[in-house]
Amino acid sequence: MNVKGKVILSMLVVSTVIVVFWEYINSPEGSFLWLYHSKNSEVGDSSTQRGWWFQSWFNNGTQRYQEEEDIDKEKEEDRRELQLSDWFNPKKRPEVVTVRWKAPVVWEGTYNRAILENYYAKQKITVGLTVFAIGKYIEHYLEKFIISADKYFMVGHKVIFYIMVDDISRMPLVELGPLRSFKAFEIKPEKKWQDISMMRMKSIGEHIVGHIQHEVDFLFCMDVDQVFQDNFGVETLGQSVAQLQAWWYKANPDEFTYERRKASAAYIPFGQGDFYYHVAIFGGTPIQVLNITWECFKGILQDEKYNIEAEWHDESHLNKCFLLNKPTKPTKILSSEYYWDYYIGLPSDIKIVKISWQTKEYNVVRNNV
């Protein structure tokens, strides 16, 4: 058979197959190819069945596509960085300072807790909290601190308490709530309380490098002689977080008790400064806290070379670090509501006290020798 004959024969075969197939699918017996339920008398005729199958397939396919599109949108929302305008409204508190160099000053009423909680819940964050209790500070303050922190610190989120003591056998036994755990570390005691205060910067940095950076997303460092009174929540989280000092939050910068001696690494000249920060609370991401503690520790070592002790020890170095060091400059500032001294009274600015100072019995607790 020549080539032309083969072509004609092939066309006849294909045409026959198409006709047979078309007749078959239009027959009652052929409908099972389109819809398995064809033998069910409730379904109806084959043409209806085929129409139902196509519509069902199309609708299901469209629904799946829509669901996938919705999931993609949700993932995109999860990945999107939270913007300041999403949760912060400075106009809610016009009577106080609420913004500095684009950093929010967080006061009660300025933040939307629901938006923040929704955002951080999706991130599945873990927040760390370091606290030091040396000598008589253990018996005098530590138990109250842990109990109150367990109740009010980052409620609903995973928390790790890093407790630094000079004698683990004297640690109080406190039962923690869900999502809470603690790690206790025994550290070397110092002879003077000033050295204890300043050397904690070195200790925090070592623990961040050693393990904390792999365990938490955010880290706060706090003094032990304080007690939580209300929710200290996700509105406080940021890259670099500073705490306003209660006694100085309204003062003129030239009145601040910065270190004014030029020989000190903590020196801040008159005419500079925006706020006075309290070393009792600072935080941020682990890497930023590491940078903060390292800058402070470098300043402390430099002062030691010249036999200088800064006016307010590690707090003086912290203020210098936050003022002049761009990488560690605060990206979020906590109002004095987050750490208040009731000895001042309770002015109208202070709506809700989050943490309060404990009575400072220095004559008792600082005799650690």
Q: Are the C-beta atoms of 240 and 288 separated by less than 8 Å?
A: yes
Q: Which of 277, 263, 366 is nearest to 320 (CA)?
A: 277
Q: Are the C-beta atoms of 249 and 339 separated by less than 8 Å?
A: no
Q: Are the C-beta atoms of 259 and 320 separated by less than 8 Å?
A: yes
Indicate the DSSP class of residue 281.
E
- Beta strands of the chain (E only): which ranges? 99-100, 103-106, 126-133, 158-165, 180-186, 218-222, 226-228, 240-244, 277-284, 332-334, 355-357
Residue 283: which residues within 8 A CB-CB, separation 6 or more? Answer: 218, 219, 220, 221, 236, 238, 241, 289
CA 160 to chain centre: 13
Q: Are the C-beta atoms of 238 and 284 separated by less than 8 Å?
A: yes
Two tokens at 79?
A: 């990945």
Query: Which CA distances in Å does 291 have to 35, 206, 236, 284, 321?
Result: 67, 12, 19, 10, 9
Handedness of CA 87, 90, 93, 99 (dihedral sign): positive
Q: Which amino acid is at 19?
A: V
Active-site positions read 315
Radius of gyration of the chain (CA): 33
3 state DSSP class of 232: strand
Indicate the DSSP class of residue 344.
G
Two tokens at 175?
A: 């039962």
Phi first, then psi: give them for residue 147, nearest 5 degrees.
-60, -45
Q: How far apart are CA 259 and CA 317, in angstroms?
A: 8
